[in-house]
Amino acid sequence: MSGDLFDITSEGDVVLRLHVQPGAGRTAAVGRHGDALKLKVAAPPTGGKANDACLAFVAELFGVKADQVELTQGQSSRTKRVKVTGIEADDARHLLATALDGTGNAGPAWNVRPPDH
């Protein structure tokens, strides 16, 4: 489907494209950034804290366990790819559309607390 914020691997896993803004006031999906989901992350970009917050957010967004979410690209970049196992493409598409309320803007329901460190 055109406009998806993710790719599908040959194994059927979802690989979500993210654009991350670390050090924000809160962790939340804030809309689209080109072909990626834009996340503001409260955690700082040091010691992997922002990456951990991204993974926790994606797990909550898709309703999967933390071990089903893996950062595959962009460990030290704002542009990231996160693989999610155990979710169908249609379900991912629906959850992202709901999170972005059909306008490309995120709704308030997708704010999460940063992980405890």
pLDDT for residue 98: 86
Does the global pTM surpass 0.85? Answer: no
Instruction: Give the pLDDT score at 52.
Output: 95
Half-sphere exposure of residue 89, counting CA atoms within 13 Å on the CB side?
13
What are all long-range contacts of 111-117, with beta carbons under 8 Å and residues at least 24 apart? 111/26, 111/27, 111/28, 112/27, 112/28, 112/56, 112/57, 112/60, 113/27, 114/27, 114/41, 114/42, 114/43, 114/49, 114/53, 114/56, 115/43, 115/52, 115/53, 115/56, 117/43, 117/49, 117/52
Q: How confident is the model over 61-81, as pLDDT tens digits?
A: 999 999 999 999 999 999 999
Ranges in the chain, pLDDT < 70: 1-2, 102-117
pLDDT at 101: 74
Residue 3 is predicted with a pLDDT of 77
| pLDDT at position 104 | 53
